Amino acid sequence: MKKRSTYDIQQAAFAWLDGIEDAEGEVSEDAEAQLGVILGDVEDKATALFYARQRTRSLQAEAKEMAEIAKVQKAKWNRQEMRIMALLQNLLEAKEATGKKPRIEGAWGTAHLRKTQTLQIPDKEAVDLKWHKEKITTSIDTVAIKKALKEGQEVKGCELITVTASSILSKK
């Protein structure tokens, strides 16, 4: 059986309603059969959708919990890596202090000391304004636009639209 789109179902429902009007309020067997096809086992489908929604929420909660666990584990492993790198740096600096080349090679790769320059600014207030940069950001004030449109004002490039969404009130 071909899966019907929402548009197809809507058009079929309109045709069914037109059929009722044509029959002056009496529902023909054909119109009733057509409505049965349109609506089908709605309660069963709605129940299945409800449980699918509950399962999705459960999986979302589980994924969130797993993400938290992963975040904690990542922080733990990052701390461990920092300790290992500090120990490695101590070993390399000890080699350098004894006049040896600060380099260790193995099947796993090569470790060496690397010197870089970085900027440190202990007193940001002391830095002259010529060394500052200005950041300007803008965003659309959607709340003000919506209010203006509701009050009848015209806002170029904007319009109020009505959105229809389904909702479930769960039994407690």
pLDDT digits (tens, 9 = 90+) for 63-118: 999 999 999 999 999 999 999 999 999 999 999 999 999 999 989 899 999 888 89
The answer to the question of residue 104 being in a domain is yes
172, two tokens: 């407690």
The answer to the question of residue 161 being in a domain is no
Q: How far apart are CA 91 and CA 95, in angstroms?
A: 6
Amino acid identity at 77 = W
The answer to the question of residue 46 being in a domain is yes
The answer to the question of residue 100 being in a domain is yes
Q: What is the pLDDT of residue 53?
A: 86
The answer to the question of residue 107 being in a domain is yes
The answer to the question of residue 5 being in a domain is no
Q: What is the pLDDT of residue 158?
A: 94
Helix or strand run (H / E) with residue 105: strand 103-106
Question: Structurally, how many domains does the chain consist of?
Answer: 1
103 φ, ψ (degrees, to nearest 5): -150, 135
**Which residue range is the domain that position 121 belongs to?**
41-150
Q: How far apart are CA 131 and CA 127, in angstroms?
A: 7
Q: Is the pLDDT of residue 157 over 70?
A: yes
Read off the pLDDT band of 23 (50, 70, 90).
Answer: low
3-class DSSP state of 110 = strand
Q: What is the pLDDT of residue 87?
A: 93
Task: State mean pLDDT over 148-152.
Answer: 95
In sequence order, the 6+-apart residues with CB closer than 8 A to the CB of 128 are: none
Residue (of 142, 170, 171) closest to 157 by Cα position: 142
The answer to the question of residue 21 being in a domain is no
Q: How far apart are CA 162 and CA 12, in angstroms?
A: 23
Q: Is the pLDDT of residue 20 over 70?
A: no
Instruction: Give percent of the chain above pLDDT 90.
Output: 55
The answer to the question of residue 109 being in a domain is yes
pLDDT digits (tens, 9 = 90+) for 27-72: 667 766 766 666 666 667 777 778 888 889 999 999 999 999 999 9
